[in-house]
Structure 1
Amino acid sequence: MKIGAIEAGGTKFVCAIGDEKGNVEQQVRIPTTEPGETMESVTDFFLANEVDAIGVGSFGPIDVNKNSKTYGYITSTPKPGWKDYNMVGFLKQKLNIPVSFTTDVNVAGYAEAMQGAGVGKSNVLYWTIGTGVGAGYIQNGEFLQGISHPEMGHILLRQVKGDNYKGKCPYHANQCFEGLAAGPAIEERAGKKAIELASDDPIWDYVADYAAQACVNATLFLRPDIIIFGGGVIHQEHLIKKIRVKFEKYLNGYVTTPDIDKYIVRIALDDDAGIKGALLLAVKELAESK
């Protein structure tokens, strides 16, 4: 059995061929230009390398409600040309195979739940802090979603005293998690790349504080078994310890959680999580389509 996977990002599409266990055998990177050009290149790759099903993790917002008329669409994205684009429809028309479609953060979270830090856990919350902030929640192998996927990167937080940053989110400025702590917010605050900041730079205290606030909120309304952080910002390994300390301060013993060192953790699969998750979801979609 050959399985396909697509990580659809704002700058590039990663397309891969793998097996039902999530092992990658071949992959290519295709620049994200306009939909016609990009998607023709994507489908050409899979026409030349036939697969039984494809899993897609896409930038968004997207429509993941299978009862919706616009299921499978990229919806209100600011990415030029991609607004209201029917990605699943195009893939099915060209390839005529089952397609699993969800967010880019969901595919990574699913891989972590199935093969990474969340193995053996029934309730897994996965956050990514990178160019944006997003989250996916996997409960007993299924995604938590209502009329669409959660947008937990835009939960409202309290700005830390002393942090006078105006915020980066075009919708919520300095009021939401993404606006305060995503990579572009860190870099605009610092005037240089996040990777250039020393580990004791006070900006990291702000970022850890906002992540801890988000973890407290999630703990109270989701009660996960584990909270896993991924994304480029989490390459700063000192951050997890800072988040744990601030989390315990804010939660203040109100409810019990697992041991903190096992409750708030780093991603285990690193950069492989997205593609692995897309492969595993394609297998699931294939089984459900029969």
Structure 2
Amino acid sequence: MLAGIELGGTKVLVLRARGGTVVDRETIATTTPRETLSRAVAVLKRWHAEAPIAAIGIGSFGPLRLDRRAPDFGVMLPTPKPGWAGADIFGTLTAPFDCPAMIDTDVNGAALAELRWGAGALGDAPSDSLCYITIGTGVGAGFAFNGRTVHGAMHPEIGHIRVPRAPGDGFAGHCPFHGDCIEGLVSGPALAHRFGMPGHEIDPADPRWDDVASDIAHLVSTILLGTAARQVLIGGGVGMGRTGLLAKVRRNVVVQLGGYLPHVDDSSIGRIVMTPLLGDQAGPLGAVALAMDALSAEGVS
């Protein structure tokens, strides 16, 4: 039996799985670190008493310290989420259990699940490299290359990349750190600021969506050029919730790349820039995939 925890800003999903098949799940509201993590541990202890947990995978919102050599490994770094900076995510969730465990960002986990069981597994030639972008309250991205997630000094923070602006777009941006970085341009709160109304009230025909599509496309083009990912998946409430936006993004990507990447053209772009095949299950299944990798790594060692 494997355990997966997807720790989000508003809710936590705790899962029990047999291999890649989820057999139980419980949802917990994200409140304070003490309350939230203790409730998750209580679920794991109950399940562990019924059938021993062989490995634990944790996919969490960030930023996180993911360097295992660091004294604060698995700890939440400074975050806008009140009260969560300095929370020991990994230590609190794994200390009661004598089993291998792995922690990563929720978007890295989602990328791994999509590579293994979702969009990356489509067709006769499975993908070896994939980027998963979520556009919602913020903008984040995870990368899975050659079966492993990507991080180094930190984990990727592509939400704070700046992109070329569409001609005539005077929106100043909404990020408190960088103004018009991509998160400050296309996240849910940024769109509400840009359009002057909540996201669900914005007219799909509003011409300012063309500027939003251009911004997202520049991010996708940067990822394709900078990482050589074979696929870029766009998820989250904005990414998956706007009919027609993905088509505009695809057209913009082809134009922006100008034929420089020979594998990206009008006929291939639909297979390269997609919505997540696993939908909103990519994150939870990502936590399970991390547990599977923790168990596999233990066997190798």
**Same topology, TM > 0.5:** yes
1:92 matched to which residue of 2? 94
One-letter identity of the residue aligned with 2:233: I
Preserved contact between residue 257 and residue 263 of structure 1 (Cα < 8 Å): no
User: Mapping of 1:1-290 within 5 angstroms?
Assistant: 2-21=1-20, 23-50=21-48, 51-119=53-121, 120-174=126-180, 176-234=181-239, 235-258=241-264, 259-290=268-299
* Aligned-CA RMSD value: 1.4
**TM-score, normalised on structure 2?**
0.91
Output the CA distance in 2 between the equivalents of 1:122 and 1:222.
12
Preserved contact between residue 224 and residue 230 of structure 2 (Cα < 8 Å): no
Q: Unmatched 5+ residue regions in structure 1?
A: none
Preserved contact between residue 234 and residue 274 of structure 2 (Cα < 8 Å): yes
Output the CA distance in 2 between the equivalents of 1:151 and 1:257.
26
Preserved contact between residue 19 and residue 279 of structure 1 (Cα < 8 Å): no
Question: CA offset at residue 87 of structure 1?
Answer: 1.1
Question: CA offset at residue 195 of structure 1?
Answer: 2.4
Preserved contact between residue 13 and residue 30 of structure 1 (Cα < 8 Å): yes
One-letter identity of the residue aligned with 1:26: D
Question: CA offset at residue 136 of structure 1?
Answer: 1.3
Q: Structure 1, residues 117-153: CA drift from partner, whole Å, max 9, x if none? A: 1111011111111111111111110122221111111
Output the CA distance in 1 between the equivalents of 2:193 and 2:18.
41
Q: Structure 1, residues 210-246: CA drift from partner, whole Å, max 9, x if none? A: 1110111112111111111111112213111100111
Percent identity at matched positions? 36
Secondary structure at the residue paired with 2:120? coil
User: How many residue pairs end up in the alignment?
Assistant: 287
Output the CA distance in 1 between the equivalents of 2:243 and 2:43.
36
Q: Structure 1, residues 3-43: CA drift from partner, whole Å, max 9, x if none? A: 1111111111111112211x222211111111111111110
Output the CA distance in 1 between the equivalents of 2:211 and 2:24.
40
Output the CA distance in 1 between the equivalents of 2:153 and 2:190.
29
Question: CA offset at residue 173 of structure 1?
Answer: 0.7
Question: CA offset at residue 52 of structure 1?
Answer: 1.8
Output the CA distance in 2 between the equivalents of 1:19 and 1:160.
48
Output the CA distance in 2 between the equivalents of 1:88 and 1:56.
8
Secondary structure at the residue paired with 2:54? coil
Output the CA distance in 1 between the equivalents of 2:88 and 2:171.
37
Which segment is superposed worse, 24-33 or 267-276?
Answer: 24-33
Secondary structure at the residue paired with 1:275? helix
Q: Unmatched 5+ residue regions in structure 2?
A: none
Secondary structure at the residue paired with 1:277? helix
One-letter identity of the residue aligned with 1:261: G
